[in-house]
């Protein structure tokens, strides 16, 4: 019953945020269909018209799920595709938010902490709630909803695997497989949840005790032997069930969709961004994705390290998110956070919890205030394109709405502004380190006096 009331509060907050930002003007580019939205619009129109074969360019045609829902709702409600997209994607974002809140309950008991972390997920300017009101045809909302729905099954799958309860394992894997397969039609990256299953066996523990100096190939060989024994058991063969579902879903989708000729390639895209995205740009993207609270994370690595080592499927997803942020495309902030948020918010929760319990709680309040600037709590997103030429003042983000929209992204931003923002995060980290070191010095002096 307690969880019901907590979810009710989260739902009310979600609704209030929707009401607060309902005045956000829709992007004017392509009459509100933005950049990628033009391609999704074409797919949705074909669904709406009842076409037997849906055609589109890659990678957009690989994500027919959200355009299909938009077309169905538009047909039922009689509203146009653009306004139907707003409601459809807000519904997807609501489910993602509730699933995230339930997920955080596996790791934290305090309602205020779960609520704060969920609130951060709702208000960030580059995440689906805010983006849906600005760029309605984006498809990330339902991708996040299916992703979180799959994540909720991971604890039960691990418990059944460790307890060697095959029927329980199979009973959780079947709905998990259906969710992951369906989710892959909304966002291809959801398929990584299938790979995450193979880390439930905690394979990296085979390397415990492996010494680097002196290095021994014999020890390394024994470690790989342990890993082989972990996987060559009956239970791990169950982990291929989601792959079967994914292949079936992709096969069924390919019968009704046709990919138009084009030059897009996943492999080429990965290599392009790997060789063109600079390290400072990438780091700034990570900083802006997490906001000023990111400076707390390195100081609470021990807390998350033990969790990641005990539940290595989470470690796999976090590492993969860092990789996606680097090579997944130009929008580092959005791509990284939407891939990492279920694990990253746990890490951030440990950091906030630890800092809140310390005598330096006031600094946490300062960081939260700065977080509202980075996440643009007080401002709408500026229109794109616009004729504004002035450079905004960079202070962990940009005040107001009178500047170029693309300045918000590390890849598209102005290099002088980006450099200043980067140095502000470095300064904030050093200030946090100084505050924590002063705390340690005070403790040492007190112990000496005793």
pLDDT digits 0-9 by tens, 296-342:
999 999 889 999 999 999 999 999 999 999 999 999 999 999 999 99
Total residue length of the chain:
450
Q: Which domain holds residue 41?
A: 1-138
Residue 144 lies in a domain: no
> Do 235 and 99 have their domain in common?
no
Residue 114 lies in a domain: yes
> Do 416 and 287 have their domain in common?
yes
pLDDT digits 0-9 by tens, 349-362:
999 999 999 888 99
Instruction: Give one word for 48, left, alpha or beta, with left for phi > 0 and alpha for psi -120 to 50.
Output: alpha
Mapped onto helix, strand or coil, the DSSP state of residue 257 is strand
What sign does the CA torsion over 333, 339, 342, 347 have? negative
**Model-wide pTM > 0.75:** yes
Residue 347 lies in a domain: yes
Yes or no: say if 87 and 18 are a contact pair by the CB < 8 Å rule.
no
Yes or no: say if 281 and 418 are a contact pair by the CB < 8 Å rule.
yes
pLDDT digits 0-9 by tens, 59-86:
999 999 999 999 999 999 999 999 999 9
Paired strand residues for 257: 54
> Do 271 and 332 have their domain in common?
yes
> Do 251 and 282 have their domain in common?
no
Confidence tier at 234 by pLDDT (50, 70, 90):
confident
> Do 230 and 342 have their domain in common?
no
Quickly list H helices, 328-414.
332-356, 361-374
């Amino acid at each position: 019953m307690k969880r019901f009331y907590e979810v009710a509060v989260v739902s009310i907050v979600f609704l209030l945020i929707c009401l607060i930002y309902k005045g956000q003007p829709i992007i004017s580019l392509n009459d509100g269909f933005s950049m990628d939205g033009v391609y999704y619009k074409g797919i949705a129109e074909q669904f709406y018209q009842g076409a037997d074969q849906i055609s589109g360019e890659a990678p957009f045609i690989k994500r027919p799920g959200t355009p299909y829902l938009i077309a169905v709702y538009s047909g039922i409600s009689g509203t146009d595709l653009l306004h139907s997209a707003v409601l459809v994607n807000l519904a997807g974002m609501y489910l993602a938010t509730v699933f995230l809140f339930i997920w955080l309950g596996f790791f934290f008991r305090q309602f205020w902490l779960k609520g704060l972390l969920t609130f951060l997920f709702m208000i960030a300017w580059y995440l689906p709630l805010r983006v849906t009101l600005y760029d309605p045809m984006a498809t990330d909302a339902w991708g996040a909803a299916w992703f979180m729905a799959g994540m909720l099954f991971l604890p039960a799958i691990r418990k059944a695997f460790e307890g060697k309860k095959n029927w329980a394992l199979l009973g959780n894997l079947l709905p998990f497989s259906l969710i992951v397969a369906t989710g892959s039609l909304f966002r291809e990256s959801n398929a990584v949840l299938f790979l995450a299953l193979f880390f439930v066996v905690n394979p990296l523990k085979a390397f415990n005790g492996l010494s680097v100096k002196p290095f021994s190939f014999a020890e390394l060989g024994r470690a790989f032997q342990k890993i082989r024994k972990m996987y060559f058991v009956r239970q791990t063969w169950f982990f291929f069930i989601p792959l079967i579902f994914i292949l079936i879903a992709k096969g069924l989708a390919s019968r009704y969709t046709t990919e138009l000729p084009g030059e897009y390639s996943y492999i080429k895209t990965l290599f392009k961004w790997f060789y063109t995205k600079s390290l400072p740009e990438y780091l700034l993207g990570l900083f802006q994705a997490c906001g000023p609270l990111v400076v707390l994370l390195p100081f609470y690595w021990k807390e998350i390290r033990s969790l990641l080592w005990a539940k290595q499927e989470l470690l796999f997803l976090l590492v993969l998110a860092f990789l996606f942020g680097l090579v997944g495309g130009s929008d580092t902030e959005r791509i990284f956070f939407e891939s990492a948020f279920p694990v990253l918010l746990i890490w951030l929760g440990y950091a906030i919890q630890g800092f809140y319990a310390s005598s330096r709680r006031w600094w946490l309040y300062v960081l939260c205030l700065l977080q509202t600037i980075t996440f643009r709590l007080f401002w709408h997103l500026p229109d794109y394109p616009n004729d504004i030429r002035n450079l905004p003042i960079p202070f962990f983000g940009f005040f107001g709405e009178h500047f170029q929209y693309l300045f918000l992204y590390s890849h598209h931003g102005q290099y002088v502004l980006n450099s200043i923002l980067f140095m502000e995060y470095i300064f904030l980290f050093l200030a946090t380190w100084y505050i924590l070191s002063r705390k340690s010095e005070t403790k040492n002096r007190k112990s000496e006096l005793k």
